[in-house]
Amino acid sequence: MPCQIKIDQLPTIIREIGEEIGFEAVFKLVDRFGGTSINPPLKVDEHHWLAEVIGLPAAQKLAQLWHGDRIYIPFLKAAKQAVRNKEIIQRYDAGESVRTLALSYHLAERSITRILKKCVL
């Protein structure tokens, strides 16, 4: 499993959307709608579900560029794991224990140790 996400390895639609609205907003979409399709509306205000998920500026940009299109949002399991693993390594390097990390991420201590071995060594 990789320890960092490489943008060129993400699905095309995620790269395209991320380049327009930012990858932080894209990962919020993936967290909320991964594995399903969304239909961006023509107009978005601050109370619209899309604005509540990714923020108003990103939602407006997405609506402007993809309104009326059905967009499938993939799960991105490997990418999410890579982000999680990077966080685990950073927290471990900052002094947190394997036990604390295991409890924090709902993983076994052996899983944390495996992540550290794969990505640190």
Over residues 63-94, the pLDDT tens digits come to: 999 998 999 999 988 877 888 898 999 999 99
Residue 30 CA to residue 5 CA, distance in Å, equals 14
Is the torsion defined by CA of 105, 107, 108, 114 positive or negative?
negative
Inform me whether the pLDDT recorded for 102 exceeds 70: yes
Mean pLDDT, to the nearest integer, of 47-71?
A: 95
Residue 104 CA to residue 97 CA, distance in Å, equals 11
Residue 88 CA to residue 104 CA, distance in Å, equals 10
Inform me whether the pLDDT recorded for 2 exceeds 80: no
C-alpha count within 13 angstroms, C-beta hemisphere, residue 62: 30
Inform me whether the pLDDT recorded for 7 exceeds 50: yes
Mean pLDDT, to the nearest integer, of 39-62?
A: 95
Q: What is the mean pLDDT of the chain?
A: 90
Cβ-contact 57, 18 below 8 angstroms: no
Strands 71-73 vs 36-38: parallel, antiparallel or unpaired:
antiparallel
Mean pLDDT, to the nearest integer, of 89-108?
A: 96
pTM of this prediction exceeds 0.75: no
pLDDT band at 4 (very low <50, low <70, confident <90, very high): low
36, 79, 117 from 32: Cα distances, Å: 9, 15, 31
